[in-house]
Structure 1
Amino acid sequence: MKKKLKFAAAVAALAMSGTAIAGAPDGKIQVKALATLVAPDGKITSVELDNIGLPAGTQTEADDNFVPTIAAEYFFTPNISLETICCVTQHDVTGTGPLDGAGLVSNANIIPATLTAKYHFGDGSGFKPYIGAGPTYFIFIDEKAGDTAQALGATRQKMNDKVGFALQAGFDLPINDNGLGLSVDAKRYFVNTTARWFAGNTEVLRTRHRIDPWVVSAGLAYRF
């Protein structure tokens, strides 16, 4: 996490240091260094296999996380652009209901590879609101069975990588005439995944989950 924060800070510093040389409010490329809240859902939508014996009414939730995010955007016209983001976010999944607070998934790292097409309103000067939409691919890395899942006999856990969709809205606000600005962005993702728990090589639990995170960001933008 410290390395990611240092990287985001370095990008912001480079952006600010270069505004007097090459920045332009109508440039083709915009990069952003953002602080981001990732707030997933995590609820179970169906139980497909249960050899552990989950109590009736068991549900799950995923915790929120704050992460640094880098975004890169290319403007085809003053109003139309494509944007992609780079971040890694980490989450635990715990039980609710009869298993309230039980650790089921530990340290699930997610790369939400996302590409959105955006439409920017207005004439390109001053306050610039936008909307966007596009595909996403959630990549899960190095997730582990939580403490309670291990106590119930699970030794390994796996989340399936999954294709989904994202809606987006936000605004950019120029700070000066050299490409530096403020950016606020909100995305709602629509992604489901399958979670599997194993005892050795034997699958003992399989559940479907609604991920559907809200991803809200704010930070500096630099256009050139």
Structure 2
Amino acid sequence: MSKALQAITVAIPAAFLIAAPAFAADVASAPPAYKAPAPVVEKSPWQIRLRLLGVLPEDGGKVNGVPGSDLDYSDSIVPELDITYYFTDNWAAELILGVTPHDIDGAGSLAGLGKIGEAWLLPPTLTLQYHFTEFGAFKPYVGAGVNYTIFFNQKADAADSLDVHDTWGWALQAGFDYMIDAHWGFNVDVKKLFLKPDFDVTVAGTPLTGTADLDPWIVGVGVTYRF
């Protein structure tokens, strides 16, 4: 082997040994490779629930001019849909939609009449809610709002005729969602409606007026879906 070739053979490894530490230091001090930030996924403001409701009116009321008159109402279990729109993570508005049938029975001095009649109720209720967000998957809320109840498909039984008037009322609400994931959850909800509609009734040919003190509790359980 020529002296020149021997010199090259020795020089190349030596140069590598000298340069390797500097190259390693450069690699160690180099900035990390650019990684794009994860995309921000915004929550939809819309949410729906399907609930099974127990509608539990409080018994009470009177027929004007009939001393000791009172009224009783049947409970009802019905399906219900509600739609919620979130203005922020905490503030939302909820609208509930459903219909419920009830019997109207005489009580007190009217007990001998038995079933006076029946009616279906459409009670759309709009509430403004505050949602607490510091409890993880458990998301309680409270709300208050207004109700407008429409009475339809009314039928007289012991009475000759019956007409319960549509009316406004106030609503209070409390409940919670327990979210299983970002979209699905379980809901429990309780509302109190302050509802006292007036009515016209004719009994034995005599036209009468009165007030039904319904003031129902509405207790619901169901499924939540957040879009």
Q: How many residues align?
A: 186
1:35 aligns with 2:40: no
- Per the alignment, residue 126 of structure 1 pairs with 137
**What is the rounded CA distance, in whole Å, between the counterparts of 1:199 and 1:93 in structure 2?**
14
Looking at structure 2, the residues matched to 158 and 70 of structure 1 have their Cα atoms a distance apart, in angstroms, of 27
Structure 2 CA distance, aligned partners of 1:28 and 1:124? 20
Identity within the alignment, %: 36
1:41 is displaced (CA, Å) by 1.9
Partner of 1:207: 210
8 Å contact kept, 2:128–2:143: yes
Structure 1 contact 104–145 (Cα < 8 Å) conserved: yes
Name stretches of at least 5 consecutive residues in structure 1 with no aligned partner: 1-23
Paired residue for 2:191, among 187, 190, 193?
187
Work out the CA distance in 2 between the residues paired with 1:120 and 1:58.
Answer: 43
Query: Of 166, 169, 193, which residue of structure 2 is paired with 1:161?
Result: 166
Q: How does 1:45-84 map to 2 (within 5 A)?
A: 46-48=62-64, 50=65, 54=66, 56-84=67-95
CA contact (8 A) 1:57 1:98 kept: yes
- Offset from partner CA, 1:166-205 (integer Å, 9 cap, x none): 000000001123x0000000000001111111379x8611
Which moved further from structure 2: 27-36 or 64-73? Answer: 27-36
- Out of 128, 146, 149, the residue aligned to residue 135 of structure 1 is 146
1:86-101 counterparts in 2 under 5 A?
Answer: 86-100=97-111
> Is the partner of 1:143 in helix, strand or coil?
strand
> Separation in 2 of the partners of 1:86 and 1:161?
16
Separation in structure 1 between the aligned mates of residue 223 and residue 42 of structure 2, nearest angstrom: 13
Using the TM superposition, give the Cα deviation of residue 26 of structure 1 relative to its aligned residue in structure 2, in angstroms.
Answer: 4.1
Q: Which amino acid aligns with 1:195?
A: F
Q: 2:219 aligns with which of 209, 216, 221?
A: 216
Q: Is the 8 A contact 1:26 1:78 kept in 2?
A: no
SS of corresponding position for 1:192: coil
Higher relative contact order (CA closer than 8 Å, sequence separation 6+): 1
Q: How does the TM-score come out when normalised to structure 1?
A: 0.77
Instruction: Tell me the secondary structure at the aligned position of residue 88 of structure 2.
Output: coil
When normalised by structure 2's length, the TM-score is: 0.76
RMSD of aligned alpha carbons:
2.2
Does the residue aligned with 1:142 lie in a helix, a strand or coil?
Answer: strand
Q: Partners of 2:220 and 2:126 in 1: how far apart?
A: 16
1:103 pairs with 2:119: no
Change (3 A) 1:81 1:128: same
- Look at both structures and tell me which one has the larger radius of gyration over its CA atoms: 2
User: Where do 5+ consecutive residues of structure 2 fail to align?
Assistant: 1-40
* Pairwise CA distance, 1:158: 0.3
Q: Which amino acid aligns with 1:163?
A: W
